[in-house]
Amino acid sequence: MSPSPSTSPDAPLGTFEEQVMLAVVRTHRAADGSGAYGMSVRRELEEVAGREVAIGAVYATLDRLEAKGLVSSERGETGAGGTRRVFAVTPRGARALADSREMRERLWRGVDLLPLLAGGR
């Protein structure tokens, strides 16, 4: 028995949007406890995705996600007395990520790449 698909009022996440949100989640749970601020999110993306990411693209995407209500931000303290904008995924955002993953899993279900791989040059 397959699970019923969940309905979501939000538009599907863009690829980069999904990547940025996942990086926020991963960074938020980082052991050093510094939180998910812009530069740490960028670094996480670069390490995991294996490619260079522009800091402005990260901030612009986070702004867009916050405008959609999928991410929230607040000012946090830095050690040197300055402030940082620290991000967290909202419950709606978590739901969007879960929906995105479910869609991807449904797409992969039943897909057998072996014949395609064997036939390719």
Partner 1 sequence: MEVPRLPLALLRAWLPYAERDEVIAELRTEFVAREVREGPQAARAWLWRQVLGSVPPLVRRTFSRGWTGFEPRASRLRPGGPPMESFIMDLRYAARRLRSRPGYALLAILTLAIGVGGTAAAFGLVRGLLMTPLPYPAEERLSLFWSPGDWSEREFLHLSSDWSGFNAVAAFRTKELPLRRGPQASPELVTAIVTSAGLFDVLGVRPTLGRAFEANEDRPGAAPAVVISDGLYGDLGGQPSLVGGTVELDGRTHTVVGVMPRGFWFPDPTVRAWVVEPFNEEDGSGNYALMGRRAPGVDGPRLELTLKGLGTRLRERFNYPAAWDKGRAPAVTPLREHLLGPLQAPLLATLAAMGVLLLIACANVAALMLGQVDSRATELAVRMALGADSRRMTQQLLAEALLLGLASAALGALIAAQGFRVLTGALPLGPLAPKGALDWGMFSAALVLALVAALAVALLPARSLRKSDPQRALAKSRTGGIGARGGRTEGALVIGQVALAVLLTAGAALLVRSVANLRAIDPGLNDTARVAVLDVVMEGNVERDARPRIISDLEAALATLPGVRGVGTTQKLPLRGAGEDWGIGIVGKPDLPATTTYVRLVSPGYFDAVGIRLVDGRLLHADDRVDSERAVVINRALAKKYFPGENPLGQQINTGLGGLERIVGVVEDVAEAGLTDGAVPARYMLHAQVAGMTMTRQTLVLRAWPGQDPAALLDAARKQLAAAAPSVAVHRATTLEAVLTQAIGPARQVMSVLTLLTALAVVLGAVGVYGVTSHFVRRRQRDLGICIALGLRPSRVVAQVVRRGGVLVLIGSALGTVAALVLARLLSSFLYGVSAVDPLSLAGATLALLAVGVLAALLPALRASRLDPAVVFREG
Got the DSSP string for the chain? Answer: -PPPPPP-SSPPPPHHHHHHHHHHHHHHT-TT---EEHHHHHHHHHHHH-S---HHHHHHHHHHHHHHTSEEEEEEE-TTS-EEEEEEE-HHHHHHHHHHHHHHHHHHTT---HHHHHH--
* Smallest separation, CB 54 to partner 1 (Å): 3
Indicate the residue among 75 and 109 with the shorter CB distance to partner 1: 75
**Interacting stretch for partner 1, rule CB under 8 A, among 2-10, 84-92, 100-108, 112-120?**
84-92
Asked if 75 touches partner 1 (CB under 8 A), the answer is: yes
Among 59, 95, 102, 103, binds partner 1 (CB under 8 A): 59
Asked if 14 touches partner 1 (CB under 8 A), the answer is: no
Indicate the residue among 52 and 105 with the shorter CB distance to partner 1: 52
Q: Kindly report the backbone phi and psi dihedral angles of residue 79, in degrees, each rounded to the nearest multiple of 5, phi listed first.
A: -60, -30
Indicate the residue among 64 and 92 with the shorter CB distance to partner 1: 64
Identify residues 24-43 at the interface with partner 1 (CB under 8 A): 37-39
